[in-house]
Amino acid sequence: MIREQNLFFEITTNHTSYWFHILPSGHPEHLYYGPRIEAGADAERALADRPVYLGGNGISYSKEYPLVGLEELCLEFSALGHGDVRDPFVTVLYPNGSPVSDFLYEGYQIRDGKSGMQTLPSAYAEEDHQDNRGNAPDCVQELTLTFRDRNYGTVLELIYAAFPDCDVITRRSVLRNEGSRAAEVQRLMSLQLDLADSEYDWHTFTGAWAREFNHQTDRLHQGRFVSESRCGLSSSMNNPFVMLTRPNTTETAGLCYGFNLIYSGSHQEEAEVNAYGKTRILTGIQPDGFSWKLEPGEELEAPEAVMTVTDGGFGALSRSMHRFVRHHIVRGAWKDRERPVLLNSWEAVYFDFNEEKLLEMAKTAADTGIELFVLDDGWFGRRNDARSSLGDWYVNREKLPGGLGELAEKIHSLGMQFGIWVEPEMICVRSHLYEEHPDWAVAVPGTIHSEGRNQRILDLTRQDVRDYIVQAMSDVFSSARISYVKWDNNRIFTDLFSAAGTRPGEFLHRYCLGYYEVMDRLVHAFPDILFEGCASGGNRFDLGVLCYMPQIWASDDTDAVCRAMIQTGMSYGYPMSVISAHVSASPNHQTGRYTPWATRFGVACFGMLGYELNLASLSEEEKQMVQRQIAFYKEHRKTFLSGDYYRLVSGREDDFEKGIWQWMCVAEDQSEAIGFFLQRQFVPNMSAAFFRTQGLDEHALYRFRDFQVGSGLGNEEDFTLSGSLLDHAGVRLTQAYAGEGRKPGTRYFSDAASRLYVIEKAE
């Protein structure tokens, strides 16, 4: 619900409140964002800044308002100049050479529902959603505030949308040039949140290729703390999802804010503590290097930012974000549809395949219950390694004489669907496409070009290039019965240049807009295809991609122990339903680690399950085990897709005893839950472990059992217990083996061993 009274604004979700008011000077002062509160008669006065003097060297806004010191105030947005020396929300360089703005309040509008955006993907209000608990859809409302620069006629809109059921508020901004001359926008952020103190920890998710989503924590103090990408993609270096918490916040208690951005390009999230101990959060497009020419009458939209807050700790925050992503970001035919269990050819055969080899694998896949066969890289042009052919999207007849169409039909006749890998944004110099259109590649003419994986980026700021990609992909997607597409992207931007003259300061954002235009056209032309995003794994894992593709390949690291860390990091901001995870070979191809089947399967279950190894080379016993794993997954797939996720214990890399992960997901109707326990390294003679659940129906009885496939062991645990006992006391697990021989009744736990627990409501 959004309300205004005498320019005091309240945005309320089921469990949160967001308040601000407009000062007589025309500046919007932020008053509160946190767990839901009710306003008493003096609420506004109690929360507002009430200066009676400004500090010694403080700047006062104007003679008319001498006590408005913008440096001290908590503001809904700030611009360069007039005293606020923190990083600004918006900076415009005006035709007279001045970067100083003076935006003042002009008006507001509240409406039911939510508007879309012109150029960017955005969250949407569901109209017909009804979840299993019978909850009605969110009543989404939107507030637009307008501010006009008193000197130049530029207009800034701040747009807030409230999603009550998910406890999410989104924010975005639009800048319009209503002046008579062009201006240069040097930054336009999406969200600014000024908080009154700085007793906070700043949580970011950092990484690199094959080791994405490390959870980092910094205690704030005076200065700037920045999480950002400058490489043109949202990146595996710093994900746009960040959190701010009180220092004592845990999984189940404590104040916790979460922020994300519906954007796939370079971005920046910043926490700045100023000289007065106020904390400013800013999120949006990376301002460094950004500059956008705004002609009279034009407007620029900043991406939509997402925020939520709870006093229920990290766990509650994650579940709000998960619900929001599932209901208001992911869309299309596959939104709530159960995703097929797939076999991907990449780590099974890499580039080394022909039709016979693929069909041999496909036959075994079909026998084990796999539903979708995905042909990864290597099927087109002369692509026998990573040195050539990106851009030549026609089938390699030496490998596949009957083309994709014939292969797809053979796969379908085995009872599976067929999917394909593409990397359409790229071009290799060794390709026919490059021979025909060298100027379509992003490269500085006459200089050496620094390549990544032997490839260059196609200039998606150009309409002719976008049209080519849409046409080439439409031809591929309609050349065979294709139900799934893995859309990869394997290099970052460094040497920027557009032969079409796109301005350097606009290039990265225009590229991102071009990528969205291409995706938009293709998902509408092929509404039944399940698209999976990928960028060398998680190098473009963000809410922008998820507006087009319901799931993303999480990491090129398929080692189950590494994946436990990566997927735990992801789970803070993203639901299991968007995390694509595969069972791969042991020893693992990235780490050389030997990992039990049960662990590879257990970790991949807490995502959208696939296999990525040569199934045809397995023993009969192993094939039967895979078959039983897949049957188990299918039985509980809905719980993994739409259940509530809990991090019960989060292991840490550097601590042997704490190298334990316990996860759990609970079906929406609480009829069942699946638990998972993984121990990175076996430590002898540890005290008995507990499995303590969360989120069960406390008044119901549950049967708690372990699920083991291929261990040759019987059930270790079998209890009928109340939900309240499981949630509050937990189950003491069978004693672990400790070096006096493996006795019946001990829990055998080698390095990287794990268990899945099935917790089902008992009649």
* Interacting residues with ligand DGJ (CB under 6 A): 346, 376-377, 421, 488, 490, 534, 536-537, 553, 556
Rounded Cα distance, 493 and 441, in Å: 12
| 490 versus 595: smaller Cβ distance to ligand DGJ | 490
Question: What is the DSSP secondary structure assignment for residue 441, as one 8-state letter?
Answer: B
Residue 174 corresponds to which tokens in the numbers above? 């639009």
Instruction: Tell me the closest approach of the beta carbon of residue 375 to ligand DGJ, in angstroms.
Output: 10
Instruction: Tell me the closest approach of the beta carbon of residue 488 to ligand DGJ, in angstroms.
Output: 5
Instruction: Tell me the closest approach of the beta carbon of residue 218 to ligand DGJ, in angstroms.
Output: 30
Rounded Cα distance, 665 and 671, in Å: 11
| 536 versus 595: smaller Cβ distance to ligand DGJ | 536
Query: In this structure, is the dihedral angle defined by the CA atoms of residues 180, 182, 187 and 188, taken in order, positive or negative?
Result: positive
Instruction: Tell me the closest approach of the beta carbon of residue 430 to ligand DGJ, in angstroms.
Output: 15
12 vs 122, 425, 623, CA distance in Å?
A: 21, 42, 53
**H or E element, residue 727:** helix 723-728
HSE at residue 17, side-chain half, CA atoms within 13 A, is: 14
Residue in 536, 537, 566, 534 with CA at minimum distance from that of residue 549? 534
| 77 versus 346: smaller Cβ distance to ligand DGJ | 346
Instruction: Tell me the closest approach of the beta carbon of residue 539 to ligand DGJ, in angstroms.
Output: 8
Helix (H, G, I), strand (E, B) or coil at 412: helix
| 309 versus 400: smaller Cβ distance to ligand DGJ | 400
Helix (H, G, I), strand (E, B) or coil at 361: helix
| 487 versus 757: smaller Cβ distance to ligand DGJ | 487
Radius of gyration of the chain (CA): 27
Instruction: Tell me the closest approach of the beta carbon of residue 425 to ligand DGJ, in angstroms.
Output: 13
Residue 382 corresponds to which tokens in the numbers above? 């002369």
| 490 versus 642: smaller Cβ distance to ligand DGJ | 490
| 31 versus 358: smaller Cβ distance to ligand DGJ | 358
Total H helices, total E strands in the chain: 13, 38
| 72 versus 376: smaller Cβ distance to ligand DGJ | 376
| 255 versus 374: smaller Cβ distance to ligand DGJ | 374
Catalytic residue among 556, 557, 559, 706: 556
Neighbours of 116 (CB within 10 A): 9
Cis omega (within 30 of 0) for bond into 445: no
User: CB within 8 A of 542, min separation 6: which ones?
Assistant: 234, 239, 240, 260, 261, 262, 263, 264
Rounded Cα distance, 140 and 1, in Å: 8
512 vs 39, 285, 710, CA distance in Å?
A: 42, 11, 47
Rounded Cα distance, 588 and 612, in Å: 11
Catalytic residue among 149, 376, 488, 542: 488
Rounded Cα distance, 736 and 687, in Å: 8
Residue in 674, 615, 602 with CA at minimum distance from that of residue 642? 674
End-to-end CA distance of the chain: 41
| 12 versus 264: smaller Cβ distance to ligand DGJ | 264
User: CB within 8 A of 304, min separation 6: which ones?
Assistant: 117, 120, 122, 123, 170, 171, 172, 190, 261, 262
Instruction: Tell me the closest approach of the beta carbon of residue 364 to ligand DGJ, in angstroms.
Output: 21
Instruction: Tell me the closest approach of the beta carbon of residue 533 to ligand DGJ, in angstroms.
Output: 10
Active site residue 165: no
| 124 versus 350: smaller Cβ distance to ligand DGJ | 350
Rounded Cα distance, 665 and 644, in Å: 5
Residue 160 corresponds to which tokens in the numbers above? 């807030």
Amino acid found at 600: R
Active site residue 488: yes
Residue nearest to ligand DGJ (CB): 377
Instruction: Tell me the closest approach of the beta carbon of residue 554 to ligand DGJ, in angstroms.
Output: 10
DSSP letters spanning 744-760: TT-B---TTEEEEEEEE
Q: Judge whether 414 and 363 are in contact, CB under 8 Å.
A: yes
Query: In this structure, is the dihedral angle defined by the CA atoms of residues 443, 449, 453 and 454, taken in order, positive or negative?
Result: positive
Instruction: Tell me the closest approach of the beta carbon of residue 350 to ligand DGJ, in angstroms.
Output: 8
Residue 365 corresponds to which tokens in the numbers above? 């896949």
The residue with tokens 């895979």 is: 626
| 389 versus 693: smaller Cβ distance to ligand DGJ | 389
| 251 versus 377: smaller Cβ distance to ligand DGJ | 377
- What are the DSSP E strand ranges found in 405-558? 417-422, 426-427, 456-457, 484-487, 530-533, 551-553
Neighbours of 711 (CB within 10 A): 15
Instruction: Tell me the closest approach of the beta carbon of residue 437 to ligand DGJ, in angstroms.
Output: 22
Instruction: Tell me the closest approach of the beta carbon of residue 553 to ligand DGJ, in angstroms.
Output: 6
Rounded Cα distance, 417 and 475, in Å: 19
Instruction: Tell me the closest approach of the beta carbon of residue 489 to ligand DGJ, in angstroms.
Output: 9
Helix (H, G, I), strand (E, B) or coil at 82: coil
So which residues are the catalytic ones?
488, 556
